Structure 1
């Protein structure tokens, strides 16, 4: 794996297939929150989407994203309730029988799509609570049903920042020895760049460093903020054309105020390899007009249009991930990303001066770089 396209309410399976065909994505992650089980006149079914991606040699995953049920404001069940994922009430994991049934039904849905078994999990806010114990029990049940399944870990920023408590929870999960891991940071906002405290990035990196020694790790909805996870040992991250594919946020699962599938306007901000970040369209055009040589050096402008912006973003992200994966060891990955961040922070002041952009290196790069440096220092690098 390198980059997986996360699911979105926008019916654009052809864009995923194109990315797989062009080797800028390895496959897709389907969820019951964004794709119906039964096809609509305006929306392909999960089965149809899976078949399209498999036909091009892409990987197909089905993530139940059970952890969204613990998010404040959750309410978009228009597709979710088409899936038979609960023997009892939706979201009830209070008993061993309910946990057994939920895992079994999620695995059955994955079997129907010919997808790898990926266990559901519970959203966590701290590493040592009754809820974290329930998450461990759910993971234990999943491994009992399939010893080579993948496990999920989903937490908010306080969870990933919880230090020794985080380590204790991860240590207990690691004893289950699954075939792989999906790691998710859940956020209260969908905005980009994400607000990631250095303690969060540090905890995420330490966790991935430990888990990746024994099994592959995917950073779900990671996008550019997931690059430190790749540096710490992960092998892939999630992205897409919508913000909800680049950030796992509470608003993505909230009750919809209208019946449309668009989810708001297109996210067309060009991403620049040399900045490890994006500019607004007008800012990017101003940069290209003022300093075309710099623009080209930083990665260049995509052609106008949402599809073109997404295609260029995916290619840029894949290039960044592949550079990190090319390093020989953990320290090499760390050094490669640290150097990329240093170079980006060197470029941002000139870009900000030329474009008067609202967001710059202080928002896109500096917080992630600080967390990465903390991780490197802990590793003795």
Structure 2
């Protein structure tokens, strides 16, 4: 099958959609499909215009132009790639909340009569949900034959509300993970080693960086002094410097805002840690939490987020209704060795359902469904 993955964003830009589109392309390629990515994100050289590169066998077509602040948008893209897009068997569009490039190429794909699958990777907030429903784009795309999915049950509920037609199906097509990359052997730690909390996220407002620091401080305050613990927060973004500026000298004795690290370093850190703390409410999926769960870590997260698709309360993590309950759950795990061990053993012996082999098969099923509808 000749597959076109259409996305505003792609590496070297960093983020969840970028990583997932790249990894999906490689996973499809590994199963014998020809994969092309069309994106408005420039490459490392920042070249603007048309360019092409090989990304470990995936053909990456960059259709870029000069716009303020480097926003990945190109209104000329449909005219530029119309002829070549018509040659594909399927177009898989990857949507964020604001995705002008993906919107334009969705319309082009449907105009060409190409089977089209659309996946939302972001949570539609009330404002964007209302606008999308009033404009009727998603409903129109489905009526013209596109299949609609989102990366989690919660995100799919928001898309259904935006569609506004109960007769139109919105499925779940989850993000994928390379299970062996995160299932590393844990080294033996001293019995008196501090309990290690870890978090990985983008330092952006919607990720709730400042509430995260406040909650970790409360955990530190409530854990008895005889139980030492540390907290490490990985990631980069515009709020990293302000967050570091807000930490006190006392905070820095146990809290480390470590910045961004390579995947192998993060995987090894997970293997040597004790629990993962997920503070985000509007989390469409939570790939970092899934990676931590795959490494064996019990995950502490809020109910009502995409994390609920792979974390079951008291089985492989603890789910909380609000921030206070999230702190309660973290304190419980830090202070209860037997609970941590039980949840960790489950995670180490029961792999998640979102391995790439499974996700590729679900993607191919979606492509076939799009072909039948088209």
TM-score, normalised to structure 2's length?
Answer: 0.36
Greater C-alpha radius of gyration: 2
1 or 2, which has the higher helix percentage? 1
1 or 2, which has the higher strand percentage? 2
TM-score, normalised to structure 1's length?
Answer: 0.36
